[in-house]
Amino acid sequence: MARVFVARELPFPALDRLRAEHEVEVWPERLPPPRDRLEDREGLLTLLTDPVDAAVISASPGLRAISNYAVGVDNVDVEAATARGIPVGNTPGVLTESTADLAVALMLALMRRLPEAQAAVRAGEWLTWEPARLLGRDLHRSTVLVVGPGRIGKAVARRVQGFGARVIEAGRGDPLPLAEADVVTLHCPLTDETRGLIGAAELAAMKPDAYLVNTARGPIVDHAALLDALRGGEIAGAALDVTEPEPLPADDPLLDAPNLIVVPHVASATHATRAAMADMAVDNLLAGLRGEPMPHCVNAQALSRR
């Protein structure tokens, strides 16, 4: 029986399977646990907000498995884990469709100015039907640039094509045809190459009536440049499910930018998707603690180093 730390409460049956085999401590608070609570464990089930860096790994001589409750593993020093023979698991594929749904929902909310429309009703400003009030733009017949046409990017492409939109794609190393797009939607992983991929020059290259949607990773977009672009009217609006940092401080100037929607990293927030993620994360951790290959492992070579 291993000592396992779960970095947040998961309201799904998957944890019962983990408790049946191991001694499990679940962090009960809404905010991430302090770093020292991650140390000196044999198994970790973590979220993207939990840094499992080289220092945490070094302070955990008995650590045998890390399972991340996410597709990305930006918070884990995979290289340090691999050097120690510690497998790192993730939850790919399961949140593809839910994330694609949210990306399209954000496009529609931006283009049809839904936050402004709701605010007007609540403020008592809906006085009559006005032909020129709250005019938005159509998703149908628009051109959508999918940056990162992987699983999620392809799922978004299928959806917007169903609306009658034209899709163009830009993969790794491809030029970004930003001037062609009415909507730029980001679905690339966070790497050294994609960090700051959308900065001042890229935003200036977009059409002034175009929109930016980011459901990938916050650091892909330069927030200072985005704030300037929104204030200066260089683009028509932006919607972010991810930010840098997460969460944004309440006094972050970006939150006062015009034509901006920010939601708290909810792309996978459906009952079915989050439950499936919990099952995958627990399956990964149970396998890793048994010394078996994880069903979903980002560093399969770690087992050969044990």
Distance CA 198, CA 283 (A): 36
Catalytic residue among 25, 29, 125, 246: 246
Task: Dig out the tokens for 283 from the structure.
Answer: 């399956």
pLDDT < 70: residue spans in the chain: 306
What pTM value is reported for the model? 0.91
Say if residues 45 and 281 touch (Cβ distance below 8 Å).
Answer: yes
Q: Are 193 and 176 in contact (CB under 8 A)?
A: no
Rounded CA separation 170/265 (Å): 24
**Residue 23: beta bridge partners?**
3
* CB-side neighbour CA atoms (13 Å) of 246: 22
Q: Is 84 a catalytic residue?
A: no
**Helix runs in 33-150, H state only:** 54-58, 78-83, 96-111, 114-122
Give the DSSP H or E segment for 264: none
Residue 306: what pLDDT?
66
| CA pair distance 110, 107, nearest whole angstrom | 5
Of 195, 145, 198, 196, the C-alpha closest to 171 is 145
Strands 183-186, 211-214: pairing is parallel
Distance from C-alpha of 61 to C-alpha of 84, rounded to nearest angstrom = 9
| DSSP H or E stretch at residue 162 | helix 151-162
Active site residue 217: yes
Q: What is the signed CA dihedral for 123, 129, 131, 134, rounded to 10 degrees?
A: 20
Mean pLDDT of the chain: 96
DSSP state of 178: G
For residue range 142-185, list pLDDT tens digits in order: 999 999 999 999 999 999 999 999 999 999 999 999 999 999 99
CA separation for the pair 297, 294 (Å, rounded)? 5
| Domains of the chain by start residue, with CATH | 3-93+271-305 (3.40.50.720), 96-262 (3.40.50.720)
CA dist 227 and 212 (Å) reads 12
Candidate list 64, 113, 265, 274, residue with the active-site label: 265
Amino acid in position 140: H
246 is known as an active-site residue: yes
CA distance 104 to 109: 9
What residues pair up with 128 in beta bridges, in sequence order?
Answer: none
Residue with tokens 């991340």: 68
Catalytic residue among 217, 223, 274, 296: 217
**253 touches 228 (CB < 8 A):** no
Query: What's the distance, Cα to Cα, between the start and end of the chain in Å?
Result: 19
Exposed e or buried b per residue across 120-133, where buried means at least 16 C-beta atoms within 10 angstroms of its C-beta: eeeeeeeeeeeeee
